[in-house]
Amino acid sequence: MNLVIDAGNTSTKLAVFRKQDLLFHSTTDADGFHKTVKDIFSKFPDIAHALVASVGSLSKRELDVLSIFCKVELLTSVSSVPFKNSYASPATLGVDRIALATAAFYTYPNSNVLVIDAGTCITYDMVNDYGEYLGGAISPGLRMRYRALHEQTARLPMLDPSPFVELIGNTTEKSIHSGVIYGISNEIDGVISEYRSRFEHLTVILTGGDGQFLSNRLKNTIFANSNFLLEGLNYLLDYNKH
């Protein structure tokens, strides 16, 4: 039984797998991490291995607590991966992107797969039908765009994403919503179209915290999978077990 942990910029996700079956998942912040870990091991005492992918602020103390319960591996840029990594600067490749590429490699073998992770940032990651990771792109995420408009101007308010957006905003608030949400949706659609012009039979996966919010606004056909990164971590844990 495996435990995988995705420590992101804004929250930490934990998931328990038996082989490839997801049994449990939870999201917590730094304050609730210890309690969440204890609760997980009380429910699933057979967990023997854990893999941690941290792009956020998971501390050594939290890793030490985790190591009390099971063997812990930390995913890094030098961890073994099942795909061919053609990224020009592999030492700078984020562990979240490594996990997403791994999920694409195993879930859609011998396929062209574009993974879009709509989180704090939006990342685009491409694995081709030869099992080769090519790279992709990084752009500002949904809330980062709202925050930039507020913090980089004198008078624009800070807003939360709205599910009801008019193309033509007739107030400042509606104009911000239109600019951010139509802008990000058209960006994603445009990127997908560019990739589809270069790769035949392209499968597109949309994941991340804002994936569900954005999925119904896209014109291109995509598969939404909110657990894609966790699944990739589980594959990597099995791949790297000693």
92 appears as a binding residue in the annotation? no
Q: Is 210 annotated as a binding residue?
A: no
Asked if residue 241 belongs to a known ligand binding site, the reply is no
Residue 153 counted as an annotated binding residue: no
C-beta separation of 4 from 233 below 8 A: yes
238 annotated ligand-binding residue: no
**Residue 120 one-letter amino acid:** T
Q: Is 96 a catalytic residue?
A: yes
Token digits for 93?
A: 């490749």
- Annotated binding-site residue? 12: yes
- Looking at 96, 125, 129, 189, which residue is catalytic? 96
**Sign for the pseudo-dihedral over CA of 198, 136, 100, 163:** negative
Q: Residue 175 contacts by C-beta under 8 Å, 6 or more apart in sequence?
A: 169
10 is in an annotated binding site: yes
Determine if residue 141 is labeled as part of a ligand binding site.
Answer: no
CA 218 – CA 1 distance, rounded (Å): 37
Q: How far is CA 196 from CA 69, 182, 187, 222, in A?
A: 45, 21, 14, 12
127 and 101 Cβ atoms separated by less than 8 Å: yes
Active site residues: 96
Which residues fall in the annotated binding site for substrate? Answer: 87, 94-97, 172
Which residues fall in the annotated binding site for ATP? Answer: 6-13, 120
